[in-house]
Structure 1
Amino acid sequence: MSGAKSFENLKSDSSRILKSLRSNTSAGITSLAVFEQGNGENEEHRKSLHDLVSQRHAGMTFDHIMRSMLNLAVMDVSRMTDNPGTDRLSLSRLVRLVDGHKSDFENAALHWYDDLLGFPNAQAETSAAKVVEEWDVFHDNLQILQRSGELKRVRALRNNELAHSLGKSFQLPVILDIKQVLLKIGNVVSSASFALEGLEWGVDDYVVSRNENARTFWDCFGQ
């Protein structure tokens, strides 16, 4: 197999992993947004909803929905941060795939805009330089994530508590840990998306839009 063909296969595989990572990040953010907006931003927020749930004796179902949202968010984190050796489309698998190919992706960036007539060469060189910059940011963000106490605690939650009971997951520190891990994962995926595909994908936009959607949904039942 030629070097060019081999690199095309590598790019295709890395794009497939990145697509899955972006999807799982978005899903995790959505689940957490549904939980937070349903739970309420403070003691008064969603009081009418919670009172209605209590009046209708629907607390068990409501709690199940809340726990399920946290469960889904934690499992999305787990899928993306599994250790090497699994067949999941994880960050570890992406790194193993692309490490050692920094110059290949830099060269590929020179041709991102070949189809645009009259595109200046200087812009192509800028794109290649941006790949180099984002490649380093990608690895720096990954190290920040892997060394974070939040990730260790969320993994412990997955390995221990989720297997038995999610009751303790309503504690605020746990919610903050899940949120911070998802944001850190989003930063890794964002920098990797540009370094490997030239795609500008920002996690902050998803946080805002998913919270707005979740707020609109729960507003249907009471504030």
Structure 2
Amino acid sequence: MKHKLLLVLLTALIPCLFMQGCISNFEEDNTELSEEDRVAEMFREAGFKVEKLSSKPVNPPMTEKEASLFLAAYKNRERSGSIQIPSENIELKPDGHLVVKVKCNSEKKNFSRTRTVYKEEFDFTHWATYTVRDIEIECWQDIAGYWKSDNVNCTFTTRDPEYICGFPDINPNTGYSKGSLYFSINITVSRYSGWQIYSVDENYDYTLMLTWLPVAQEWNASLSWHETFW
């Protein structure tokens, strides 16, 4: 008798539990995310690290429209470039070392988006609108004529309070050549948006080309860079 009663109770409870589980799953699946959470998910899918602010935000959150434009521009950003270094930015020290200073920042905007119905424009290149990279390289030639360095400094300056740069990780010497010096700089750039911080690592390899001009009695130098991965 007890077994039959237990069987009846189980027969009645199982459908109820099943229905409750279905309703619960339905409610979870239909929980609408806020726009800020949807924007955060967009950045995650684009490879950004997303963190929550621990203090009160000072910047308004990005809208989905702004995030879409920003990420499209970031995807199409300038990933390589070069700059000629003025001779006055090259100093010859008494010990024979060269100190080269360069503001490594292209002002070229290689991404622009305009829609006919809703005029939307957004420019982006290597965070150039928001950050400036001042690089100083001290280098010398060894007995065999190869360029070497153990001293490369880079200062990142942000033009917009919504952006912040971490401390750069610099490898001052990544190769040997008689005409060039190779080094790399890695930096984490973050954008503040409402309660969220969106961060991405930038990893760039640099090539400093150095040529002595005997007629002008001065050094000719240029700096080129390219992103190592995306």
TM range (shorter): under 0.3
Which structure shows the higher strand fraction?
A: 2
Q: TM-score, normalised by structure 2?
A: 0.25
Please tell me whether Structure 1 or Structure 2 has the larger radius of gyration of its CA atoms: 2
Structure with higher RCO (Cα < 8 A, 6+ apart): 1
Which structure shows the higher helix fraction?
A: 1
Q: TM-score, normalised by structure 1?
A: 0.25
